[in-house]
Amino acid sequence: MDGYLGSYATLGLVVAAGVLLFVAAFGANRLLRPASPAEPAGKRIPYESGIDPVGGDWAQAQIRYYVYAYLYVLFAVEAVFLFPWAVIFDLPGFGGAAIAEMGIFVAVLALGILYAWRKKILGWT
Assign residue 108 the CATH number of its domain.
1.20.58.1610
Closest CA to 98 of 108, 85, 107: 85
Q: What phi, psi does 58 have (nearest 5°)?
A: -135, 130
Q: Provide the pLDDT for residue 29.
A: 94
Q: Is 51 helix (H, G, I), strand (E, B) or coil?
A: strand
Are 85 and 98 within 8 A, CB to CB?
yes
Q: Which domain holds residue 21?
A: 4-119
84-117 per-position pLDDT tens digit:
777 777 777 777 777 788 888 889 888 888 888 8
5-55 per-position pLDDT tens digit:
777 888 899 999 999 999 999 999 999 988 877 777 767 776 666 666 666
Number of domains in the chain: 1
pTM of the model: 0.41
Q: Provide the pLDDT for residue 31.
A: 93
